[in-house]
Amino acid sequence: MPLLADRQSQLLIDGKLVAGRKGVFDTVNPATEEVLGVAADATAEDMGDAIEAARRAFDDTDWSTDTELRVRCIRQLRDALREHVEELRDLTIAEVGAPRMLTSGAQLEGPIDDLAFSADTAENYPWRTDLGHATPQGIPTDRVIAREAVGVVGAITPWNFPHQINLAKVGPALAAGNTLVLKPAPDTPWAAAVLGQIITEHTDFPPGVINIVTSSDHSVGALLSKDPRVDMVSFTGSTATGRAVMTDAALTIKKVFLELGGKSAFLVLDDADLTGACSMAAFTVAMHAGQGCAITTRLVVPRARYDEAVEIAAGTLGSIKPGDPTSKRTVCGPVISARQRDRVQSYLDLAIKEGGRFACGGGRPADMDKGFWIEPTVIAGLDNNARVAREEIFGPVLTVIAHDGDDDAVRIANDSPYGLSGTVFSGDDARAQAVASRMRVGTVNVNGGIWYSADAPFGGYKQSGVGREMGLAGFEEYTEIKLIATLAG
């Protein structure tokens, strides 16, 4: 059956595809402003039904202990997603505004393939570890450490990389034996809802194990943090919303995973290839219109070569024109919504008020009157105290900042409320590694290395979050540790 054949999605609750009690809401193509179709609009009552279904599936079935079933279901999901990959590609380009070239990587195919890591990890994981014999307080005791599922997980996800973030939560949470309620962003409901259709048609997931609730109302997702039937909340999004999630979760002392904002620095040391480094920084910030939390949006360069660095970055970024995401050549598509476009523009206006200048870009392309477009922009003339250097803009905007040596570059990189990612370029790998080791961030790219991988943990320091997603560390976020001590005979 074709995906979303009637251009309308449904909720997945307790193994059934159902309508939302509030009706439907539009999903819009950000490149054209065309209404693509509608998504089921859930109410608080729908969310309550989903939570109750997940609770029953965890408490009253053997899902959490049947590793073989979990592995089979996740592999079925991966295979079914692969079979529908071209339909999913078209949907992703249209709903997310993701350039076609990115769908072969982190926007679609990568996350589908990454489900294999979750299945393989569950299949081979040491669920019980013998801690050995001991005599605490003189009592002979045999001890075992058991890893068990947390329980019901509420997953709240954003719109920028919906498949990657949805599946990076769904895969390990279910593989570890939890049941789950997924609440995606209102901007990209179809990217999550199609999972419900595929799960019901192509997998053996028991009813209630995974529930998908789309809604135009953000407060519906907030119920996952507050409801005592939910044992853990896994949230990716803004730092401001992350604070609210943590506050709400504190009422029931539930476990929280948070992957939040970033304002990552790209450090160019004085022995680096300036042209290569600044060009790479500029290209990176244009990808998917800069809508990535780990994108390096601060380019920190030697003061003596500041003007040259600005010129190189502007030359590269100015040559990347925002365009039709269906084209194989497009790098920079639209931002997700009129609201987001206006937010980015407000930061560009602020840059001028703060005394900066645009080396390229600075607003909406003059020849694009439909769609949510922002020109790739280089801001020059400001230091790290400017708001555009400190706050997450989430658009194709690069701020160039001068440094006075390695120590100063590290100081600037770390002078941020965030600590998600970073990059260091140097002609000397050892020097670059030394600088990288001093950066207070969760991931660092040294001279072009790639940190994104299914088996590698991702997350940040400071206000960039709590915990890690992906890799073994990400799998274990969804487990509890139990020590079983038995009197030795």
Integer Cα distance of 340 and 237 in angstroms: 14
**280 neighbors 272 (Cβ within 8 angstroms):** no
- Nearest C-alpha neighbor of 337 from the set 185, 223, 193, 228: 185
Token pair 């600005």 is found at: 310
**213 neighbors 182 (Cβ within 8 angstroms):** yes
Integer Cα distance of 420 and 249 in angstroms: 23
Q: pLDDT truncated to tens, each residue of the chain (489 aa)? A: 789 989 999 999 999 999 999 999 999 999 999 999 999 999 999 999 999 999 999 999 999 999 999 999 999 999 999 999 999 999 999 999 999 999 999 999 999 999 999 999 999 999 999 999 999 999 999 999 999 999 999 999 999 999 999 999 999 999 999 999 999 999 999 999 999 999 999 999 999 999 999 999 999 999 999 999 999 999 999 999 999 999 999 999 999 999 999 999 999 999 999 999 999 999 999 999 999 999 999 999 999 999 999 999 999 999 999 999 999 999 999 999 999 999 999 999 999 999 999 999 999 999 999 999 999 999 999 999 999 999 999 999 999 999 999 999 999 999 999 999 999 999 999 999 999 999 999 999 999 999 999 999 999 999 999 999 999 999 999 999 999 999 998
Residue 2, pLDDT score: 87
Residue 108 C-alpha from the chain's centroid: 13
Residue 453, pLDDT score: 97
Question: Domains, the chain, ranges and CATH?
Answer: 8-260+465-487 (3.40.605.10), 265-446 (3.40.309.10)
Residue type, 373: W
Q: Which of 95, 259, 392, 476 is catalytic?
A: 259
Distances (CA, A) of 208 to 63, 68, 71, 220, 390: 10, 18, 17, 18, 43
Residue type, 256: V
Label each residue of the chain as H, E or C: CCCCCCCECCEEECCEEECECCEEEEEECCCCCCEEEEEECCCHHHHHHHHHHHHHHHHHCCCCCCHHHHHHHHHHHHHHHHHCHHHHHHHHHHHHCCCHHHHHCCCCHHHHHHHHHHHHHHHHCCCEEEEEEECHHHCCEEEEEEEEECCEEEEECCCCCHHHHHHHHHHHHHHCCCEEEEECCCCCHHHHHHHHHHHHHHCCCCCCCEEECCCCCHHHHHHHHHCCCCCEEEEECCHHHHHHHHHHHHCCCCEEEEECCCCEEEEECCCCCHHHHHHHHHHHHHHHHHCCCCCEEEEEEEHHHHHHHHHHHHHHHHCCCCCCCCCCCCCCCCCCCHHHHHHHHHHHHHHHHCCCEEEECCCCCCCCCCCCCCCCEEEECCCCCCHHHHCCCCCCEEEEEEECCHHHHHHHHHCCCEECEEEEECCCHHHHHHHHCCCCCCEEEECCCCCCCCCCCECCEECCEECCECHHHHHHCCEEEEEEEEECC
- Nearest C-alpha neighbor of 155 from the set 254, 50, 234: 234
Residue 462, pLDDT score: 98
The verdict on whether 259 is a catalytic residue reads: yes
**94 neighbors 29 (Cβ within 8 angstroms):** yes
Residue 462 C-alpha from the chain's centroid: 17
